[in-house]
Every structure is written in structure tokens, then in C-alpha cells.
Amino acid sequence: MSILRKHPAGLTGLAGLVACCFLAAGENGGWPCFRGNAAMSGEAAGGFAAQPRLSWSREMGGPVESTAAISSGTFYVGTGRGELVSGSMAAGEIRWRYAAGAPVSASPCVEDGVVYVGDENGVFHAVDAQTGKQIWRFKTGDKIISSAAKAGGKVLFGSYDRCLYALETARGGLCWKLETDAQVHGSPCVSGETVAVAGCDGRLRLVDLKTGRQRAVIVSNANYGSTPAASGGMVFAAALSGEMQAVRLADGKTVWTFAESEQAGEGGFYASPAANAQMVVGASKSGNVYAWRPADGMLLWRWCGGGGMEGSPVLAVDRVFVPILDGTLAAVNVLTGKLTWRFKAGGQFKASPAIAQGCLLVGNTDGQMYCFGN
């Protein structure tokens, strides 16, 4: 069996899932960054077709492990060929290509007409969203896999040089940087004035957005390759050991911990969790997708996808969309944990879905970008 550890500082339980899970959260606007918002919650803003149909597919010119950003009818995505690509959501037509100079595995962040993304040479780029022209660049000491988050007039990201960076958005000047004990692979998430970042040193750090000062450090049993998700005053962090931690943002106290069982096989969380008021969802390399109650970690359901997962799940009102390494994109009902839809592609899905403007967009290692709609 899987192991759940509750901690004395735990919050009281919620009443459980309710029918409002099926109500759209509002108009589907954009998907500006890796997990849809600065909190990296992995939750889409509105509903989606019950049985999505493929609207178009387009060759990107190189493997796609980057999750697309979506804004104003345009998508932006990185490729293994070293390009940031912009295209039309309507038909997938390419608008421009920006040569980064090294593979772009990180996911872009687009806001206020600027696209921010790092590359595997350790260069962080700010690019004009309309023209694809460089605005500024910033060099770190090692490669950047971490996707950017924008908050408080700053753009934040991690680097393999062991630092978390906060840059000013206008000119790329350094606001502050926080040195950790190992590479920062995952992306920072922001809730209010707190930045949460989990690193390859096995630490989840809560950091002041304005100053870069560390407020709390939570130690895990293993390293983190994923991005934390913030929701409801909590942050949820998934470790490579198969451990999921729920931590209160206010004081850094661990509320509950879940650990995958040994029977799960070659497991561990490389994918980032998705979280909202009703549930937290984690997808494991063991092929299992788990849903927990946020307040106390009660396991709501488990679904076995039949293949390992590195791409991150996305909550879309009544379903969870899950990318699987065997090339399957699956949809699972949020209340029952039952499969409701699947699509089989040729290459692996290491990127995560982006859902906005009535479309789901995801790329694969064959270099294909797929767009699904009504």
C-alpha cells in the first residue's frame, strides 16, 4: 500500500468534492507560463470539449519537451533544435522563429508583449512577442531547464549553476539571486509575496519575493525534479523518491506527506503536481496518477496509465489531462478516476498540455505540435 503520513500541524478536512467541480471557472483566457499561472497550479481557467478532436498538427522543426505558452490566439514553444517558435492557435501556422543558440527545454512565459525563456547554454532571453526580436539576454553559469514565472515586476527562474534568479523585466537587470546546494531543475511558483522552489538538493525553499531572503527550508528524503504548485495557502511538492509533501505557506510547516509504495516499481515524481481547492493530482514514473484531498492528503483515487509519466497533469474542470511517455494523451474524470478519452501519437509526451481559448496544445519528442478542440 501507499503510505500517508499526517503531521500534527495538519489542517482540518474539507467537505470533499462537490458538483461545482463541473462548472467552468470562467472564460478561457491564456496559458501564459509552464503551469498556466505564476502559482504553477496546473489548472485551466475554463471547460473543454467532452471528446476533444484533433484540430491540427504541425512539425516544429525539432523535439518538443517544452510546454507551450498561449496568449491572444498565439502559442510560443521551445524546441530541441534551439529555437523559440511562435505560431497561430487557429491553424498552427508559424509566425516567427527565434534562434536561441542552444536547445530550449524550458517552457516560455509570455506577458505584456514579452516572451521569457532560458536555454541549455544558460542564457535567459526576453523576446518581443510580436516580432520575435531579442529585447535583452542574461547569462547564468549553467544550463536552464527551469521555466520562468513573472510576478511583482520580476521574472524568476532557476539554473543548473545552483541559483534561483529574479530579474527586472524591463532590462534584465539582477534584482536578487539565491544560492542553493545543487542544481535548480524545476520552476519557481509564486503565491502572494512568497516564492516556492524545489531543487536537486532535496530542499523546498520558501523565499521572499521582494528581497530573495529565505523564510523556510523543508527537507525531503530525495531530490526534486519537478515544480511545486501553490493553492489555498498550501504548496505541494513532488520528489523523485515518490514522496508528495503538503506544506503551509504561512509558516513552512508540513501538513501531510504521501509516499508511493514499493509495489509501484520504478516510480517517483518527475512531473509537477496540479492543485485546486478540491484536489491535488500527481503523475508518477510508475505509471500511476494519484488524486489527494488538499487539506489532509486522503487518497481520493488512483489511475494506472500503463506507462511512465514525466509530463505534468492538467486539471480542466471535470477532467485531468495526463501526458504519457508511450505517446498517449489521456483524460481522467476528476471524481471517479476513470478514463474518459485517449489519443495516441507517435513520439513520447514529455511536455505538458496547455489549455486555453477552447484548445489543448501539446508537443512531443517527434517534433509534432498537436492542437485539440471541440
The one-character DSSP state at 46 is S
Q: What is the pLDDT of residue 222?
A: 87
Residues 160 and 223: their CA atoms lie apart, in Å, by 14
pTM of the full structure:
0.92
257 CA to centre of own chain: 20
Provide the residue-wise pLDDT of the chain in tens; the chain has 374 residues: 344 544 433 333 333 332 333 223 333 469 999 999 999 999 998 777 889 999 999 999 999 999 999 999 999 999 999 999 999 999 999 999 999 999 999 999 999 999 999 999 999 999 999 999 999 999 999 999 999 999 999 999 999 999 999 999 999 999 999 999 999 999 999 999 999 999 999 999 999 999 999 999 999 878 999 999 999 999 999 999 999 999 999 999 999 999 997 556 668 999 999 999 999 999 999 999 999 999 999 999 999 998 899 999 999 999 999 999 999 999 999 999 999 999 999 899 999 999 998 999 999 999 999 999 97
H-run or E-run covering 319: strand 319-323
Tell me the residue range of the domain where 209 lies. Answer: 3-373
- HEC per residue, 71-99: ECCEEEEECCCCEEEEEECCCCCEEEEEE
* Rounded-to-integer distance, Cα 88 and Cα 338, Å: 33
Cβ atoms of 224 and 204 closer than 8 Å: yes
DSSP code of residue 111: E
What the block records as the C-alpha cell of 198 is 524545489
When divided into structural domains, the chain yields a total of: 1
Residue among 324, 288, 238 nearest 40 (CA): 238
C-beta separation of 370 from 361 below 8 A = yes
Neighbour tally for 213: CB within 10 Å: 10
DSSP letter for each residue of 297-317: --EEEEEE-SS---SPPEEET
The CATH number assigned to the domain holding 352 equals 2.130.10.10
Q: What is the phi-psi region of residue 346: left when phi exceeds 0, alpha when psi lies from -120 to 50, beta otherwise?
A: alpha
Please give the order of strands across the beta sheet that includes 314-316: 314-316, 319-323, 328-333, 339-344
Contact 231, 294 (CB under 8 A): yes
Determine the residue type at 171: R
